[in-house]
Amino acid sequence: ASSGIGAATATLFAQLGARLALTGRNEVNLKKVGEKCEKASGTKPLLLVGDLTVDADTKRIFQGAVDGYQGQLDILINNAGIIALGGIQKATLEQYDKIMNTNVRTMFHMTQLAVPYLIKTRGNVVNVSSINGLRAFAGVLTYSLSKHAIDAFTQCVALDLADKKVRVNCVNPGVTHTELHKRAGLNEKEYEAYLKRARFTHALGRYAEPEEVADCIAFLASDQASFITGASIPVDGGRHALCPSSLSREEGGVSAMAQNTD
């Protein structure tokens, strides 16, 4: 929750009156998000710094969250994620392990810990996936594999927990204005060009802001979505509905779709 979609979601939930337990690896950024949430709600959130790829940290973070709220857990937002560039000829097993451990294994572990508490409250889970979980893209193999896994995980766990009245859904953002791609190695100029191409690769002609994804997460977590489970909701400006032929009228449209992901 220390940046990007996670930070925007934390802030929105604070505005809606939620009692929050937030985690992230960057303590400085997490404290900034915590201060923003406290200002929005008047209530100080629990801040639990750690690395979810470390099992001991995950257990400590989760236990700290439930202990901080007397064992009550209503909503779990799984948002930890990284991206790495490279197709089958460039991706390595080390990259594969790092991506899958961060994007999928952490989600599996945290959800498994949360399930007994969510059953008690008939709570719900919202996972953050990507348009890469719904469509294939060249050049980001391990990332796309992880997002397809998240979508499958969402559906399977939704069925596992349906008889317990615990809902499980995910959001699938398109290009979103965060630091994710720069952390993966894009420089400022490359990232600006990537954002500019979003007007060709998204039907609505632009990229998303993190707050727009947070709005969908809040909806899925709310009682307004009481009959929705096992769903993957695109928050992608219509990108999932496009195909190469519909992009070819714009110079560079097809190559942008093939070489750049969200």
155: exposed, middle or buried (C-beta count within 10 Å: 0-12, 13-18, 19+)?
middle
Q: Which of 122, 130, 226, 227 is nearest to 170 (CA)?
A: 130
Instruction: Return the domain boundaries, the chain.
Output: 73-259
Of the pLDDT bands very low, low, confident and very high (cuts 50, 70, 90), residue 81 is very high
What integer pLDDT is reported at residue 43 of this predicted model? 94
Query: What percentage of the chain exceeds 70 in pLDDT?
Result: 91
What integer pLDDT is reported at residue 244 of this predicted model? 56
How far lies 70's CA from each of 43, 65, 192, 253, in Å?
Answer: 16, 9, 45, 52
Quickly count: other Cβ atoms within 10 Å of residue 22's Cβ: 25
What are 220's two structure tokens? Answer: 């899925």
Sheet holding 232-235, edge to edge: 75-78, 124-128, 167-173, 232-235
**Segments of 14-80 assigned E as strands:** 21-24, 46-49, 75-78
DSSP string, 152-175: HHHHHHHHHHGGGT-EEEEEEE-S
Least confident of 45-54, 127-136, 241-250: 241-250
Of the pLDDT bands very low, low, confident and very high (cuts 50, 70, 90), residue 38 is very high
HSE at residue 106, side-chain half, CA atoms within 13 A, is: 29
Catalytic residue among 143, 191, 194, 207: 143
What integer pLDDT is reported at residue 212 of this predicted model? 97
In the residue annotation, 207 being an active-site residue is answered as no
Q: Please name the residue that has the structure tokens 């985690």.
A: 23
Quickly count: other Cβ atoms within 10 Å of residue 184's Cβ: 15
What integer pLDDT is reported at residue 257 of this predicted model? 31
pLDDT digits (tens, 9 = 90+) for 196-242: 888 888 999 999 999 999 999 999 999 999 999 999 999 999 999 98
Checking if the pLDDT of 161 tops 90, the result is yes
Q: Are 125 and 162 in contact (CB under 8 A)?
A: no
Assigned fold of 73-259:
Rossmann fold (3.40.50)
Helix (H) or strand (E) holding 230: none
What integer pLDDT is reported at residue 249 of this predicted model? 40
What integer pLDDT is reported at residue 254 of this predicted model? 33
Of the pLDDT bands very low, low, confident and very high (cuts 50, 70, 90), residue 185 is low
More confident residue, 242 or 160: 160
What are 230's two structure tokens? Answer: 């096992």
